[in-house]
């Protein structure tokens, strides 16, 4: 696995395009960095906030649902073995999409593509919530179908999420004249990690209010397992809605705006 990881990193390094190359002169005088101003700029940076909201929603919902999903397969579907297969199935859409990602991004735009993905996820998760997913083979088939569409939607955003943060950094430079890569990335990472940590904890509290007995693990009464089935769907829907809010309503760099921004930044850098 380590060797594969090394090869993957080499591939990534060779295929990464450096968009901004700064020449650093020794002893050069630079404006003093102000962390509070940088954080204030982050809060005003709509693309950064939008992408962060989408990421936080994804982690709170998806990762928070992990324990509930265990109950879903053990006590609701009574088929623990299939949970691994379902997770594997869920990766199929994103694996199929990844080779097409670049072409589609160039043609339609990152925001546009991600919003469509979020809408797909919302529809899939809503269906997961309202359809009668019974604890038998029919129910498992419906669940898998909804998960495939949900995974595709989530996966589209996952593929472009970090490059959207790159655009958010450019946006900061475009609007304020100041390039604060470190602060933007680190704050984005901080909120992602916060969501990863807080998500499961919050969801456990919700599970307990729905009757979950922690000491019994995945082995729960059917009435509680049924609550978990709805909770899983609701959490996934929450993730999808947050993604939609972050990308469609807050993130404001559509294809046209991105092209305008890149042109102006290029002109500005050339002039320097």
Partner 1 sequence: MKKLLAFLLIAFMAFSVTACGTVNDSDVAVIWKEGDTAIIPGSLIDTMERAMYIENIAYTHLDSEGDSKKQYSNAEKAVNEGAAALLVNLIEVNDAEKYITLAKGNNIPVVFFGCDIDTTVLETYEKAACVSTDDASLVSVQGAQIKDYMASKYDNEKDTNSLDKNNDGVFSCIALGNVDDVIAESECDLELIDSSELLKAEIIITDNEKDALEALEALQKEGYNKDKLVTHYVPIFTVGSDADASRFTDTSEMDDEDMTTFVYTVSDIIGEGKMTGTVIEDRDSIAGAAVKVVGNLLKGKEIFEGIAEENLAGKNTVKISYIAVG
Binding flag, residue 219, partner 1 (CB under 8 A) = yes
Could you tell me which stretch among 14-22, 40-48, 122-130, 186-194 binds partner 1 (CB under 8 A)? 122-130
Binding flag, residue 257, partner 1 (CB under 8 A) = no
Could you tell me which stretch among 19-27, 82-90, 167-175, 208-216 binds partner 1 (CB under 8 A)? 208-216
Measured between alpha carbons, how far is 258 from 268 in angstroms, rounded to an integer? Answer: 15
Q: How far is the CB of 231 from partner 1 (least distance, A)?
A: 16
Binding flag, residue 141, partner 1 (CB under 8 A) = no
Q: How far is the CB of 117 from partner 1 (least distance, A)?
A: 14
* DSSP assigned state of 75: I
Q: Binder to partner 1 among 63, 147, 150, 220 (CB under 8 A)?
A: 220
Tokens of 9: 């990193």
Q: How far is the CB of 67 from partner 1 (least distance, A)?
A: 16
Q: How many CB atoms lie within 10 A of CB 135?
A: 18
Binding flag, residue 136, partner 1 (CB under 8 A) = yes
Q: How far is the CB of 93 from partner 1 (least distance, A)?
A: 21
Q: Binder to partner 1 among 15, 201, 223, 270 (CB under 8 A)?
A: 223
Measured between alpha carbons, how far is 4 from 264 in angstroms, rounded to an integer? Answer: 40
Binding flag, residue 119, partner 1 (CB under 8 A) = yes
Compute the residue count for the chain. Answer: 272
> What kind and span of H or E run contains 235?
helix 222-244
Exposed/middle/buried for residue 25 (C-beta within 10 Å: 0-12, 13-18, 19+): exposed
On whether the CB atoms of residues 125 and 146 are closer than 8 A, the answer is yes
Q: What is the largest CA-CA distance in the chain?
A: 70
On whether the CB atoms of residues 68 and 235 are closer than 8 A, the answer is yes
Q: Binder to partner 1 among 85, 130, 141, 194 (CB under 8 A)?
A: 130
Phi first, then psi: give them for residue 178, nearest 5 degrees: -115, 130
Instruction: Give, as ranges, the residues between 47 and 106 that touch partner 1 (CB under 8 A).
Output: 75, 78
Q: How far is the CB of 129 from partner 1 (least distance, A)?
A: 9
Q: Binder to partner 1 among 82, 131, 204, 257 (CB under 8 A)?
A: 131
Evaluated on CA atoms 68, 234, 144, 194, the torsion sign reads: negative
Binding flag, residue 221, partner 1 (CB under 8 A) = yes
Phi first, then psi: give them for residue 16, nearest 5 degrees: -90, 130
Could you tell me which stretch among 42-50, 160-168, 221-229, 251-259 binds partner 1 (CB under 8 A)? 221-229
Of 145, 157, 143, 150, the closest CA to residue 120 belongs to: 150
Tokens of 70: 């265990």
Residue 146 or residue 154: which is nearer to partner 1 going by CB?
146
On whether the CB atoms of residues 163 and 104 are closer than 8 A, the answer is no
Q: Binder to partner 1 among 101, 104, 248, 265 (CB under 8 A)?
A: 248
Binding site for partner 1 (CB under 8 A): 75, 78, 119, 122-123, 126-127, 130-132, 134-136, 213-216, 219-223, 226, 248
């Amino acid at each position: 696995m380590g060797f594969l990881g090394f090869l993957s990193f080499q591939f990534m390094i060779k295929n990464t395009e450096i968009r901004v190359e700064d020449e650093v002169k020794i002893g050069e005088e630079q404006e003093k960095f102000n962390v509070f101003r940088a954080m204030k700029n982050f809060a005003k940076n709509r693309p950064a906030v939008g992408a962060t909201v989408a990421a936080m929603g994804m982690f709170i919902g998806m990762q928070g649902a992990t324990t509930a999903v265990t109950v879903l397969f053990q006590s609701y579907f009574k088929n623990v073995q299939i949970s691994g297969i379902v997770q594997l199935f869920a990766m199929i859409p994103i694996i199929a999409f990844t080779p097409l990602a670049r072409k589609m991004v160039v043609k339609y735009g990152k925001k546009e593509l991600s919003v469509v993905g979020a809408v797909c996820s919302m529809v899939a998760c809503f269906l997961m919530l309202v359809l009668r997913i019974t604890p038998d083979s029919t129910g498992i088939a419906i669940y898998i179908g909804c998960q495939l569409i949900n995974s595709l939607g989530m996966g589209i955003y996952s593929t472009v999420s970090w490059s959207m943060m790159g655009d958010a950094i450019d946006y900061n430079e475009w609007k304020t004249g100041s390039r604060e890569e470190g602060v933007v990335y680190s704050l984005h990472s901080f909120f992602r990690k916060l969501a990863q940590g807080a998500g499961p904890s919050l969801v456990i509290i919700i599970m307990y209010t729905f009757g979950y007995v922690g000491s019994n693990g995945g082995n729960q009464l059917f009435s509680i397992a049924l609550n978990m089935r709805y909770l899983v769907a609701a959490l996934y829907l929450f993730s999808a809605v947050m993604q939609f809010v972050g990308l469609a309503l807050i993130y404001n760099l559509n294809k046209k705006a991105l092209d305008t921004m890149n042109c102006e930044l290029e002109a500005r850098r050339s002039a320097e």
